[in-house]
């Protein structure tokens, strides 16, 4: 698969990182369901500039304690300087996988002690850093931006993320520092194969499951280092087909030191998810479903990956006749925002039901590539509208003229409508449910794009 340069947006809070992130990625296919916690945050996105595709990470604000008497009259965080080493560690974790770092600063506020502290962190990474002096929306602010050269980092660009001023120059600078970037060639279509990311909280048995799957097949074609240090790709043969297993590091809970620490801890797992087709979400049967499990499921869904829920350590649970059904009912309730994922109860330790893991993952993978008949697709949508017409908005009502599938992995359906603004999320969900009743999209998200006759899209 193609290797895209990874750009991390770093800086103290309220300097405009998320605004620049939104400016770069533009409209993104969004999950409209209510997903618990930080899964609704936009961690990662894609953009292109001068023919090059990039991945961008919005890392959140790095809060640094500032002593009284500094030029910043509003300290970023109350607390003690003893937390600074931990904050540095979090920042290093956030940028360790990045190829280029954009350090955002506030051109109106000038250099703060927090900026100097963050600059010191970034210098130690030995990675290219471009300074984006944001909120430079006047000539005076543009002149003020050059003060940030004293931070001793890379080139400084005066930008206004909210208005788009100077962003093109910043991206031109990005392309220049990546002149020698080792881009990898894309994968041939004939070489497409099942890639599985095994994700979950720490100590739920991800590595044990990986080892069990490799051991059962007995034939390891190769073992290659993944694009992230803590994710190892192991290639196996399953019924003669090539399968890549990606064992990821555990995604930890939100920390108590600084907001956004959970985001830093999931960066490597998110990059592993990007390289996968199917995510095996491991749940510890002895502890049950946690809020963090729901967060991780949300990350996989936002990445549009097919999902299989795997309940591990089932051998360690004391059971009665209703235990499995009760546990499955709880899973369905707490993961009701997922696209009907299959649920397996296994033991990586004893090998219980291990044979079902690859069988289920392969079945879900095939669902990602299922292509619908245009005729049948339109018939189902027409029947759905006849049984439940779309609600009116004032004097206007949604009309769907034609539906077609324009992509797979995951499926993307294009609806030609009179006005995308008339598509309410509840009716979108209704249409999706009717489609799922008719077609095998088990565990796989369906993307739905609504285009007006004039050509405007409303992707949901």
pLDDT in tens, 341-362: 999 999 999 999 999 999 999 9
Domain identity same for 224 and 310? yes
- From 345, 368, 391, give the residue that closes a domain: 368
In 151-266, where does DSSP find H-type helix?
167-177, 206-217, 261-265
CATH of the domain at 33: 3.40.50.300
Q: What is the DSSP letter of 389?
A: P
Instruction: Please indicate, yes or no, if residue 1 is contained in any of the structural domains.
Output: no
Q: In the structure encoding, which two tokens stand for residue 59, read together? A: 């890392």
- From 337, 368, 399, give the residue that closes a domain: 368
Instruction: Please indicate, yes or no, if residue 105 is contained in any of the structural domains.
Output: yes
Preceding amide of 53 cis, omega within 30: no
Instruction: Please indicate, yes or no, if residue 184 is contained in any of the structural domains.
Output: no
Residue written as tokens 């931990």? 86
Count CB-CB contacts under 10 A for residue 312. Answer: 25
- What contacts 49, CB < 8 A, 6 or more positions away? 171, 172, 174, 175
Residues of the chain above pLDDT 70, percent: 76
What sign does the dihedral 354-358-363-367 (CA atoms) show? Answer: positive
pTM over 0.75: no
What sign does the dihedral 196-197-202-208 (CA atoms) show? Answer: positive
Beta strands 156-158; 194-200: pairing state: unpaired
Taking 60 as the threshold, does the pLDDT of residue 125 lie above it? yes
- What confidence score (pLDDT) does residue 446 get? 94
- What confidence score (pLDDT) does residue 220 get? 30
Count CB-CB contacts under 10 A for residue 133. Answer: 29
Q: How many Å apart are CA 411 and CA 117, to the nearest integer?
A: 46
Domain identity same for 378 and 360? no
Domain identity same for 218 and 354? yes
Domain identity same for 331 and 396? no
Taking 60 as the threshold, does the pLDDT of residue 379 lie above it? yes
Instruction: Please indicate, yes or no, if residue 67 is contained in any of the structural domains.
Output: yes
Burial of 422 (0-12, 13-18, 19+ CB in 10 A): buried
Domain identity same for 258 and 348? yes
- Mean pLDDT confidence for 380-389: 94
Domain identity same for 86 and 115? yes
Q: What is the DSSP letter of 209?
A: H
- What confidence score (pLDDT) does residue 351 get? 92
Total domains present in the chain: 3
CATH of the domain at 427: 3.30.300.20
Q: How many Å apart are CA 398 and CA 420, to the nearest integer?
A: 8
Instruction: Please indicate, yes or no, if residue 300 is contained in any of the structural domains.
Output: yes
- What confidence score (pLDDT) does residue 457 get? 53
- How far is Cα of residue 355 from the mean position of the Cα atoms in its chain? 29
Could you tell me the pLDDT band of residue 290, with boundaries at 50, 70 and 90? very high
- From 338, 368, 398, give the residue that closes a domain: 368
Instruction: Please indicate, yes or no, if residue 144 is contained in any of the structural domains.
Output: yes
Domain carrying residue 315: 189-368
- What confidence score (pLDDT) does residue 72 get? 45
CB 422 within 8 A of CB 393: yes
Least confident of 68-77, 204-213, 377-386: 68-77
Instruction: Please indicate, yes or no, if residue 182 is contained in any of the structural domains.
Output: no
Domain identity same for 273 and 341? yes
Q: How many Å apart are CA 225 and CA 233, to the nearest integer?
A: 6
Q: How many Å apart are CA 105 and CA 245, to the nearest integer?
A: 40
- What confidence score (pLDDT) does residue 227 get? 29
């Amino acid at each position: 698969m193609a290797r895209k340069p990874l750009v991390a947006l770093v800086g103290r809070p309220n300097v405009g990182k998320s605004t620049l992130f939104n400016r770069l990625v533009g409209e993104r296919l969004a999950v409209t369901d209510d997903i618990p916690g930080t899964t609704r945050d936009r961690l990662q996105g894609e953009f292109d500039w001068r023919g090059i595709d990039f991945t961008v990470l919005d890392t959140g604000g790095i809060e640094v304690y500032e002593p009284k008497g500094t030029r910043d009259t509003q300290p970023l965080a109350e607390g003690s300087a003893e937390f600074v080493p931990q904050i540095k560690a979090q920042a290093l974790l956030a940028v360790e996988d990045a190829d280029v770092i954009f350090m955002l600063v506030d051109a109106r506020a000038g250099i703060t002690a927090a900026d100097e502290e963050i600059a010191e962190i970034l210098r130690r990474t030995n990675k290219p850093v471009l300074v984006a002096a944001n909120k430079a929306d006047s000539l005076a602010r543009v002149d003020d931006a050059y003060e940030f050269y004293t931070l001793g980092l890379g080139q400084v660009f005066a930008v206004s993320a909210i208005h788009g001023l100077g962003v093109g120059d910043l991206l031109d600078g990005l392309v220049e520092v990546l002149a020698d970037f080792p881009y990898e060639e894309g994968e041939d279509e004939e070489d497409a194969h099942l890639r599985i990311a095994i994700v979950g909280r720490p100590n739920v048995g991800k590595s044990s499951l990986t080892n069990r799957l490799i051991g059962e097949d007995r034939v390891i074609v190769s073992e290659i280092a993944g694009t992230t240090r803590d994710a190892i790709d192991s290639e196996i043969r399953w019924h003669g087909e090539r399968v890549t297993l990606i064992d990821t590091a555990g995604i930890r809970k939100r920390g108590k030191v600084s907001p956004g620490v959970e985001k830093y801890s999931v960066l490597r797992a998110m990059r592993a998810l990007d390289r996968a087709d199917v995510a095996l979400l491991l749940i510890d049967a002895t502890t049950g479903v946690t809020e963090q499990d729901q967060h991780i499921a949300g990350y996989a869904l936002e990445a549009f990956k097919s999902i299989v829920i795997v309940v591990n350590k089932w051998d360690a649970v004391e059971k009665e006749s209703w235990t499995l059904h009760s546990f499955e009912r709880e899973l369905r309730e707490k993961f009701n925002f997922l696209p009907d994922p299959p649920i397996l109860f296994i033991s990586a330790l004893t090998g219980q039901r291990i044979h079902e893991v690859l069988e289920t993952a392969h079945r879900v993978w095939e669902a990602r590539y299922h292509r619908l008949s245009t005729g049948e697709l339109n018939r189902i949508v027409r029947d759905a509208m006849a049984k439940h017409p779309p609600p009116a908005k004032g004097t206007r009502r949604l009309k769907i003229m034609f539906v077609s599938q324009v992509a797979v992995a995951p499926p993307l359906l294009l609806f030609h409508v009179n006005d995308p603004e008339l598509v309410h999320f509840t009716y979108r969900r209704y249409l999706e449910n009717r489609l799922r009743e008719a077609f095998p999209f088990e565990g796989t998200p369906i993307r739905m794009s609504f285009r007006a006759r004039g050509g405007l899209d409303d992707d949901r």
